[in-house]
Chains A and B, each alone.
Chain A
Amino acid sequence: MTRYIFRRLLMIVPVLVGVTFIVFSLTYISPGDPARMILPQDATDADISHMRHLMGLDEPFLLQYVHFLFGFKSPSEDASFSYKGLLALDLGRSYVSNRPVFKTILERFPNTALLAILALILSVILSIPAGIISATHQYSVSDMVVSILSLLGLSMPAFWLGMILIWIFSVKLRIFPSLANPANLKSLVLPVITLATMNTAVQARMTRSSMLEVIRQDYIRTARAKGLDEKKVIRKHALNNALIPVVTVIGLQVGQLLVGAVLTETVFSYPGIGTIMVDAIQRKDTPQILASVVFVAIIFALVNLIVDIVYAFIDPRIKAQYESMSKARSNGAARKGT
């Protein structure tokens, strides 16, 4: 098992390098010269090339990428041009606010995480029971309702749903505020619903189909044939097995939630990482764009990693598979040795 985890950890390294490289290249090819952006309009070409030198923009592409990872020491006396690199969570300062970009991100990330976690909890609470009821009462009215609602949830753009909720609950009924703030729990109700809808739909569908599949398995039939109480069969035998794929989906959704927050945060102007990103893009604030995209991508990758590992722990099949695989491999190695 530790071996599996170790291998999985190793695998993430090239992925992260790839991700950072792609995002970095994208900002590199993006038109618009940062040096010009921070200099006054009447700056001469000499001023600009000097500024490019101070900012390390005259270096070759790959070296700039190395700077991006491991830091850059500007020849300028102005310390704000130097940075310690992505590994030290320091990519310099925003062109607009002049604050260290990662400071802003780390300050706001907990807000996004809060929104995502609440949405996750809500979606799990709603989707799993709904999926189970739907599967155990196939073709009933409740199955129909769940299926239709989850299809609608799947098809509704989150930003539109958010605005519709604002229209109904803030403008018409005045029950919830239209702008969200982590300090005010009541204000989080609408964005959490907005963010959770898509996930609830996906998870309910997953639970339903997974449950249906399990119910048809032989051992459930056997349990039923033994005359066990239907509820007991579901609870004891079916549920555990059915939930394994559901847990994976939920795990994968955590990452999606963090990203989906971009749109939800924009609609509710919630001070999270999504609004940082949209702001930065609108203002062409390159360091802030770079930092926030890379940050979210890394968090996304890490969350998926954790999910994979947790999955390995809960799914006896993977565990067994891996153990037999490693046994086979060690046997093979032993044979080779002889």
Chain B
Amino acid sequence: MSLKKFGVAILIFAVSIAAIAAQTTLVVGQATDPIILDPPMYSDTPTHNVNLLIYDRLYDLSSDGKVVPGLAVDLPKIEENGTKYTIKIKSGVKFHNGQPLTADDVIYSFQRGAFNDKSQMKSIFAMMYEVKKIDNYTFQFRTGFFDKTKAPAGMTDNDLKSFDERGKYYKPAAFGSQLNQLTWLGASIVSKATLEKAQQDGTIKDYGITWAIGSGPFKFDSWKQGDSITLVRNKEYHDSSIQTNVDKIIFKTIRDPSALKSAFLNKEVDLIMNVAPLDAREIEMNGGKILLTNGYFGYHYLAFNMKSPRVGQVNTDGTPDMDGVYDLSSPSATLRMAILYSINPSDIVNSPDIMDKRGKVTLQYVESLPFGHIDDPKGTRIEEGNLKSGYYNPTKAKELFASLPESLKKPGILKCTALSGSVYVKEALVVKDQVKRTLGVDLINIEQVALSELATRRSKSDPEVWDLLVNWTQTDDSYYIFVAFDGFNTSLLHDTKFYTKAAQEWIDKGNSLPNGPERNVAYQNAQKEILKAVPRVPLVAIMGISASQQNISGVFLSPSGSFMLDNVVKK
């Protein structure tokens, strides 16, 4: 070996060492492990944050809630009264394993999200049918409903297992939220060729756990369960306009919130998500940056299990009344009202341990986004309340409660489920305390349950016990009112299953209209109808709180509270 060669080798070695040393690593602390890096299969926030970087979607939401093209070239061409969408996607995009991304992958991803047994994101594709490829980079689909009259007797929507089959029995209907929904993580694009091959060789069962292939700005590198996930920069990312200098992102799982905060204060992590308000105070004092969502992104509410016969209405034969006409003078409705008037949500807002004043009392279900938000409170229940103490009115609460039969005044007759170990437990404790103090009876028993158990509890709710659920939802799109209150929606956390004919008609109308003022009015009217029966007591509106070190820039929070890290820069 010549001296020159040796010198070159040394140089290369030195350069590569320097390169490794100069690698910029961003560490994101999260409170729980992501569940699975397979977009339609799960969507809690930690999973969201990772998947947003690995996968691309056709459209994304900007920080102020606008839909912007991602993999799509432009906004879709929508025709035939809003029932036919044509979307062109960018050419030359490659998956992390080098496979090109084409319309086939998009159709495959949608098909998978819509019909895979384990998919939790079926609702995104619930109205889609006749999804067709036009050319390699263009595709088309229609939206509509299952039409019973077209189908043979006994067939239901659930029996249809592909978009083509749906084509035979669907009739066109507009779905104004469809575009917003394509920005959801569940509508991410996966590689058809890769997954079909994995299906054959059996490696599919570890997909999203030991391997994951997307087309996003960062590639999956490794996952140490319970500890960390490492992503590395995708040097061939199609969108060269992104401005990150980060080569590696480590998502570190730190279960204990106080440990997470200490790790941040000790600069062991660069970014943390879902900071407790009390911690935010301390972080600011110690020179960290606090990132907030643009407006209130979530609503905490007390939901009555309306499917449970005793809470909703019962037909004479004991079956739950599903026709959507509620007798607001029945004892169960009276008790619901008594509870509504017993609660003062300002305790939740003011409690340093819960919101530390970073939030507000809310009187309606959709607070800050334009859709469904009621501007004129006249003629609604909102008139009865105020933004200081909600609907709190102890005199009225006691009056209503006094009129109830003794059987509804026993301690512990209401069971309130709350996600175990979460802030909802604390809110439930506040609610329990207030109900007890206003009505003089400790009506509520709190039960902490695991996420996976919530579904079981709700579908099997004990007819002898009422269920209250402290829960939350986020309104990253206009679709909220539909998701939360549509009588036919059955997604996991949106459980109230509340249905009134009048509200449903407004929701249907809102759904059929494209984004715009008319649609807002429809959703507002739906909310007015719902507020009459109060299937949920609105409590507080929250902001997403996250924190970053001072040397980090370019991070913003999506309206749903996830980190958008495409342009993150670490100095």
Contact between B452 and A95, CB atoms less than 8 A apart: yes
Interface pair A79/B202, CB less than 8 Å apart: yes
A37 at the interface (CB under 8 A from B): yes
Chain A window 83-99, contacts with chain B (Cβ cutoff 8 Å), 1 for yes, 0 for no = 00000000000011111
The reply to whether B450 and A174 contact each other, CB–CB distance below 8 Å, is no
Query: B268 to A177, Cβ gap below 8 A?
Result: yes
List CB contacts (< 8 Å) of A26-81 with chain B: 32-33, 36-38, 40-43, 79-80
Distance between B382 CB and nearest chain A CB, rounded to angstroms: 31
**Do B455 and A40 touch across chains, with their CB atoms under 8 A apart?**
yes
> Is A97 in contact with B225, judged by CB distance below 8 angstroms?
yes
Tell me the nearest residue of chain A to B265, going by C-beta: A174
Chain B contacts of A2 at CB under 8 A?
none
Known: A36-B456, A80-B205, A269-B255. A179 touches B263 (CB 8 A): yes
C-beta contact mask, B431-463 vs A, less than 8 Å → 1, else 0?
A: 000000000000000000111110110111000
Cα(A14)–Cα(B202), bound, Å = 38
Instruction: Compute how far the CA of A166 lies from the CA of B293 in the bound complex, rounded to whole angstroms.
Output: 32
Query: Is residue A24 contacting chain B, with contact meaning CB distance below 8 A?
Result: no
| Contact across chains for A179 and B225 when beta carbons are under 8 A apart | no
A209 within 8 A of B: no
Q: Which candidate, A278-286, A294-302, A305-313, is the interface stretch facing chain B?
A: A278-286
Give Cα A271–Cα B256 distance, bound, in whole angstroms: 11
**What CA separation (Å) do A32 and B459 show in the bound complex?**
12
Q: Does B420 contact A (CB under 8 A)?
A: yes
A37 near B456 with CB under 8 A, answer yes
B226 in contact (CB, < 8 A): yes
Q: Which residues of B contact A98 (CB under 8 A)?
A: 35-36, 209
For the residues of B in contact with A, the DSSP-based class is: loop
> Which of B226, B258, B492 is in CB contact (< 8 Å) with A276?
B226
Contact of B209 among A41, A95, A99, A283 (CB under 8 A): A99
A275 at the interface (CB under 8 A from B): yes
Q: How far is the CA of A43 from the CA of B35 in the complex (A)?
A: 22
Question: Is the CB of A171 closer than 8 A to any CB of chain B?
Answer: yes
Kindly state whether residue B266 has any CB partner on chain A within 8 Å: yes
Q: Which of A79, A95, A96, A107 contacts B224 (CB 8 A)?
A: A107
User: Among the listed A36, A174, A269, which residue makes an inter-chain contact with B459, where contact means beta carbons less than 8 Å apart?
Assistant: A36
- The 8 A CB mask of A123-166 against B (1 = contact, 0 = none) is 00000000000000000000000000000000000000000001
Assess whether B259 is in contact with A178, with CB atoms less than 8 Å apart: yes
- Write the chain B residue with the least CB distance to A180: B259
Quick one: CB contact mask for B108-138 with A, threshold 8 Å, 1 for yes? 0000000000001000000000000000000
Contacts A282-B450, A283-B451; is A97 near B458 (CB within 8 Å)?
A: no
Contact status B259-A37, CB under 8 Å: no
Given A79-B202, A107-B224, does the pair A171, B456 have CB atoms closer than 8 Å? no
B405 within 8 A of A: no
Chain A residue numbers with a CB within 8 Å of B495 are: 41
Chain B residues numbered 20-36 whose CB sits less than 8 Å from any CB in chain A: 33, 35-36
A272 to chain B, nearest CB (A): 9
| Contact partner, B259, options A43, A103, A268, A276, Cβ 8 Å | A268
B74 within 8 A of partner (CB): no
- CB atoms of B450 and A177 under 8 A apart: no
Docked CA distance A266–B259 (Å):
10
B202 touches A170 (CB 8 A): no
Any B CB within 8 A of the CB of A248: no
Q: Cβ of B35 and Cβ of A96 under 8 Å apart?
A: yes
Say whether B453 contacts A282, CB under 8 Å.
no
CB atoms of B455 and A36 under 8 A apart: yes
Kindly list chain B residues whose C-beta atoms are within 8 Å of the C-beta of A283.
Answer: 450-452
Q: B residues within 8 A CB of A40?
A: 120, 455, 490, 492
Among A37, A108, A178, the residue within 8 A (CB) of B452 is: A37
Contact code string B226-247 (vs A, CB < 8 Å = 1, else 0): 1100000000000000000000
Contact B490 A178 (CB under 8 A): no
Q: How far is the CB of A266 from chain B (nearest CB, A)?
A: 8
Whether the Cβ atoms of B266 and A97 lie closer than 8 Å is no
B418 at the interface (CB under 8 A from A): no
Chain A, Cβ-Cβ closest to B209 = A99
Are A108 and B492 in contact (CB-based, < 8 A)? Answer: no
Across the interface, B455 reaches (CB within 8 A) one of A41, A99, A107, A170, namely A41
Are B35 and A42 interface neighbours, CB within 8 A?
A: no
In the complex, the answer to whether A171 meets B225 with C-beta atoms within 8 Å is no
Shortest A161–chain B CB gap in Å is 16
Q: Is B7 on the interface with A (CB-CB < 8 A)?
A: no
Chain B residues near A95 (CB, 8 Å)? 452
Within B202-228, the residues touching A (CB, 8 Å) are 202, 205, 209, 224-227
* Chain B nearest CB, measured from A93 CB (Å): 9
Max chain B C-beta neighbours (<10 A), residue from A107, A181, A271 = A271
CB contacts (< 8 Å) of B36 on chain A: these are: 97-98
User: Contact between A104 and B226 (Cβ–Cβ < 8 Å)?
Assistant: yes
The interface residues of chain B lying within 8 Å CB-to-CB of A108 are 225-226
Check if B517 is an interface residue, CB within 8 A of chain A: no
Of the A-B pairs whose beta carbons lie under 8 Å apart in the complex, a sample of 7, sorted by A's number, is A97-B33, A97-B209, A99-B225, A104-B225, A178-B258, A179-B263, A283-B450
- List 7 tightest A-B contacts by C-beta distance, closest first: A179-B259, A178-B262, A284-B450, A42-B490, A41-B455, A269-B256, A269-B255
Q: A33-B456, A37-B456, A284-B450 are in contact. List 12 more A-B contacts (CB 8 A).
A: A32-B456, A36-B459, A41-B492, A96-B35, A97-B209, A107-B225, A178-B258, A181-B227, A271-B224, A279-B255, A283-B451, A284-B453
